[in-house]
């Protein structure tokens, strides 16, 4: 049964946003290692010479577990809700007819209960983080659940998906510091452009079906060729934002190795997908972007810990 629900929410796709949540978490821990320091000035200016020796690892472990649970609950709620809401469309689409609800593996009612339980678990978990995260949990849930409706009325649905996943780095940072600062926000903007760009590529597979059902997407709106150009623009902006974050955060060579790999994976996925050849979309979607996020986070966090 657990395996069925993990498949329902595509748990493996957590690999996209979770690494950026870890970047936000470590930014908060390293720049504000004392949980009593929550003022904006301290959160921005404090950076130890040896981060590893200053981190309160017990405090870090608690925050890590809470952030991880929030990621799991919020994403599970969003994905299951999307599957529940789109069940009739999925049943008509040959590519998605094998999904759990249209295939009868999980009933629609059980999927909806699963959504509600994950929403409740997410809200309760944020209560144990801090008051700000608790209040913002309702906003976060609205964004990630509202995305499922957007394809019904706007081709900009991909940007709403990006916005939902972009809450990961700033949310993790807020879990530690309780304040907004520019650097984690920049990483959130990176996620918006990066996720929106690769979701456009993924949507190329369903252009004919979406048109037949009057669903909206960038590929339906602009056509496959122009949609790929739009995706390229978004990914170029993502690379520029990553570069800006590196300069603003005064990162070192490890960060720039991660940036080079991240940029390389974005260029790679555009090199293997053509408007008339979508055979490698899944490689571009899962493999390239999974490598991009995990590798980038590894080098960014390593840079923060070493320097």
Instruction: Report the Cα 176 to chain-centroid distance in Å.
Output: 19
Which residue, 172, 142, 159, is CA-closest to 68?
Answer: 172
Measured from the Cβ of residue 24, the count of other Cβ atoms closer than 10 Å reads 27
Q: Torsions phi, psi of 129, nearest 5?
A: -90, -70
Lowest mean pLDDT among 59-73, 138-152, 254-268: 59-73
pLDDT of residue 201: 94
pLDDT at 300 over 70: yes
Name the band, by pLDDT with cuts 50, 70 and 90, for residue 52.
low
pLDDT at 32 over 80: no
CB neighbour list of residue 134: distance below 8 Å, 6 or more residues apart = 123, 126, 127
Nearest-angstrom CA–CA distance, 157 and 146: 10
pLDDT at 13 over 80: no
Name the band, by pLDDT with cuts 50, 70 and 90, for residue 48.
very low
**Which residue bears the tokens 């209560």?**
127
Lowest mean pLDDT among 100-104, 232-236, 294-298: 100-104
Q: Torsions phi, psi of 274, nearest 5?
A: -125, 155
Lowest mean pLDDT among 28-32, 48-52, 62-66, 84-88: 48-52
Name the band, by pLDDT with cuts 50, 70 and 90, for residue 87.
very high
Domains contained in the chain, CATH given = 2-306 (1.10.357.140)
CB neighbour list of residue 29: distance below 8 Å, 6 or more residues apart = 55, 59, 60, 63, 176
pLDDT at 30 over 90: no
Measured from the Cβ of residue 198, the count of other Cβ atoms closer than 10 Å reads 30
Q: Dump pLDDT digits (tens) for 236-287.
A: 999 999 999 999 999 999 999 999 999 999 999 999 999 888 888 887 777 8
Lowest mean pLDDT among 3-17, 81-95, 278-292: 3-17
* Residue 43 Rama label (left phi>0; alpha psi -120 to 50; beta): alpha
pTM of the model: 0.90
Contact present, 130 and 140 (Cβ < 8 Å)? no
Residues 85-120 as b/e (b if ≥16 CB within 10 A, e otherwise) read bbbebbeebeebeebbbbeeebeeebbeebbeebbe
């Amino acid at each position: 049964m657990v395996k069925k629900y993990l498949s329902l929410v595509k748990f493996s796709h957590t690999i996209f946003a979770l690494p950026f949540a870890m970047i936000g978490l470590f930014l908060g821990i390293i720049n504000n290692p004392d949980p009593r320091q929550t003022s904006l000035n301290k959160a921005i200016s404090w950076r130890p010479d040896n981060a590893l020796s200053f981190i309160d690892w017990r405090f870090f472990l608690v925050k890590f577990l809470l952030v991880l649970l929030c990621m799991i609950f919020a994403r599970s709620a969003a994905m299951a809700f999307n599957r529940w809401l789109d069940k009739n469309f999925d049943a008509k689409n040959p590519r998605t007819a094998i999904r759990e609800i249209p295939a009868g593996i999980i009933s629609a009612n059980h999927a909806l209960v699963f959504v509600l339980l994950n929403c409740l678990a997410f809200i309760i978990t944020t209560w144990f983080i801090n008051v700000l995260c608790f209040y913002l949990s309702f906003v976060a849930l609205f964004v990630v659940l509202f995305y499922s409706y957007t394809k019904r009325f706007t081709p900009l649905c991909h940007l709403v998906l990006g916005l939902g996943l972009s809450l990961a780095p700033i949310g993790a940072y807020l879990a530690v510091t309780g304040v907004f600062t520019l650097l984690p926000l920049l990483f959130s903007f990176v996620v918006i452009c990066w996720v929106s760009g690769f979701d456009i590529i993924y949507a190329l597979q369903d252009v004919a079906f979406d048109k037949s059902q009057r669903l909206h997407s960038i590929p339906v709106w602009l056509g496959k060729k122009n949609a790929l150009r739009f995706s390229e623009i978004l990914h170029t902006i993502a690379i520029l934002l990553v570069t800006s974050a590196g300069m603003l955060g005064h990162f070192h060579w490890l960060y720039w190795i991660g940036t080079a790999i991240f940029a390389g994976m974005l260029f790679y996925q555009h090199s293997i997908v053509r408007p008339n050849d979508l055979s490698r979309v899944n490689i571009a979607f899962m493999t390239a972007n999974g490598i991009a996020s995990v590798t980038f986070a590894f080098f960014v966090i390593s840079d923060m810990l070493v320097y």
